[in-house]
Amino acid sequence: MPSKRLSVVVTRRLPDAVESRLSELFDTRLRSDDTPMTRAELAQAMQGADVLVPTVTDALDAGMIGQAGEQLRLIANFGAGVDHIDVATARQRGILVSNTPGVVTEDTADMAMALMLAVTRRIPEGLAVMQSGTWQGWAPTAHLGGRLGGRRLGILGMGRIGLAVARRARAFGMQIHYHNRRRLRPDVEGPIEATYWESLDQMMARMDVISVNCPHTPSTFHLLNARRLKLMKPTAVIVNTSRGEVIDVNALARMLKAGELAGAGLDVYEKGVDVNPDLRTLPNVVLLPHMGSATVEGRLEMGEKVLLNVKTFADGHRPPDQVVPSML
């Protein structure tokens, strides 16, 4: 590596402590405002940087990576998911890609449970009554929801986050079921008393709650399509804290509107801020603005991983959290 300090471009505002440390270690260009870069701005940034630090809001497709300057050698993503980066094209160009795995596991699992509770206990409806000042006092039949204990939870994707959701749900007295590419080892499956379903269709038809915890890949795009959603019981609830692309959200909205599903809690959306308008008006839907990993602790840990990846690369070694196409 050359002796000069690496040129690092950061595409979004990061926690102050992370930005300060990056500026101390490298020739760092920070983002002055917290808005996503345009494609033109991204292309310009990739022309002059040795290292790019993007986030999930930056679409680094093959065309964008093709415009990168010859000196760009590392894309150190601030986040675990890399489906917004064409890792294969980057690899062909000799550009390494790193991410921040494992940091958001507990935070995202907490949010999945929060959404389950919010939907089943009708928390937003109660909050709206209190904020509007229309509450008339306690009544035996007012705002009745349902308890989580005893319900069947079907987890789609039993990776780190899926397991963390399972442990929490078990403490709430839920029965744990899951569908995954591979069955868990007995020593992992046993403590959470989880039941494996090889058939996703069969699991969908029998669950009271579905939690989506799988990544977005070509094979999971609209994995929960209209046909699969119609397999669910009309009393069932679906929660998604993973990737919006996994669910056909238009089909989901139609079913919720028709009363064919009891409710949904969503933190992620297929088209970003362009959310299906029907979802905004339904009382049995809880929508959050991609808050699953939004904790101070989590963001700082993500920043620390980015720093470690870039510093290790600057020292002439491969980043510890390097992503390769075979991992996806």
The enclosing H or E element of 263 equals strand 263-266
Task: Give me the chain's average pLDDT, please.
Answer: 95
Whole-model pTM: value is 0.90
pLDDT digits (tens, 9 = 90+) for 124-175: 999 999 999 999 999 999 999 999 999 999 999 999 999 999 999 999 999 9
Indicate if 105-287 has the same CATH topology as 7-103+295-327. yes
pLDDT digits (tens, 9 = 90+) for 311-320: 999 999 999 9
- In this predicted structure, what is the pLDDT of residue 3? 56
Contact 31, 9 (CB under 8 A): no
Assess whether pLDDT exceeds 80 at residue 2.
no
DSSP state of 4: S
* Chain centroid offset of residue 195 CA: 24
Residue with tokens 């929060």: 114
Assess whether pLDDT exceeds 90 at residue 325.
no
Q: The CATH number of 105-287 is which of 3.40.50.300, 2.60.40.1180, 3.40.50.720, 3.30.530.20?
A: 3.40.50.720
Q: What is the mean pLDDT of residues 84-89?
A: 94
pLDDT digits (tens, 9 = 90+) for 58-76: 999 999 999 999 999 999 9
pLDDT digits (tens, 9 = 90+) for 200-218: 999 999 999 999 999 888 8
Assess whether pLDDT exceeds 90 at residue 324.
no
Percentage of the chain beyond pLDDT 70 is 98
- Domain residue extents for the chain: 7-103+295-327, 105-287
- In this predicted structure, what is the pLDDT of residue 305? 98
Instruction: Give me the CATH code for the 7-103+295-327 domain, please.
Output: 3.40.50.720
Q: What is the mean pLDDT of residues 40-45?
A: 94
326 confidence band (pLDDT: 50, 70, 90): low
Phi, psi at 125, each rounded to 5°:
-65, -45
DSSP string for 125-151: HHHHHHHHT------TTTT----STT-
